[in-house]
Amino acid sequence: MKTHELRETLSHVRSSVAALHRSLLNVERADYERIHSRIDSPGELLRLATDDPSFQWLRIVSEWIVKVDELLDDSEELTWDKSLEVILAIHALFSLAGNPDAFQKRYSGILERDTDVSFEHSKLMALMKPWTSNSTRA
């Protein structure tokens, strides 16, 4: 795969992860507002997303978005192997197979109850499917 194809694929993965992150933030925001009070501004939501323990579980998603951005910005690092490594790690984060960690347990519950999250999850998993098949890893 050529560099521009890798860049395009990773850009699509990044966009899909960002859309899923937005959906998860919306769910967490609604949950937060039910318990506490209304979040009045985007700045307040940003502060909560970075500082409040209720949103801490989502920080790993933000970190992966940044890692993809860094990979896309560094032409020397943008290789097939590095791209595969990142995509497999993102897939593992959102995969519900195996022994779930704390993120996956929380994510699974939201995935079951929120249609927007479920839709974005399906899009992301479909996008990564060609990269996560056994034949790709060989």
Quick: pLDDT tens for 52-90. Answer: 999 999 999 999 999 999 999 988 888 999 999 999 999
When pLDDT is cut at 50, 70 and 90, the band that residue 134 belongs to is low
Domain limits for position 87: 3-137
Residues 6+ apart with CB under 8 A from 103: 57, 60, 93
- pLDDT of 84 reads 93
When pLDDT is cut at 50, 70 and 90, the band that residue 137 belongs to is very low
**Token pair for residue 81?**
């192997």
Q: In this structure, are residues 77 and 85 in contact, taking their beta carbons and an 8 Å threshold?
A: no
Q: How far apart are the first and last CA of the chain?
A: 15
Reply yes or no on whether the pLDDT at 40 is more than 80: yes
Instruction: Give the count of domains, the chain.
Output: 1
Reply yes or no on whether the pLDDT at 135 is more than 80: no
Reply yes or no on whether the pLDDT at 118 is more than 60: yes
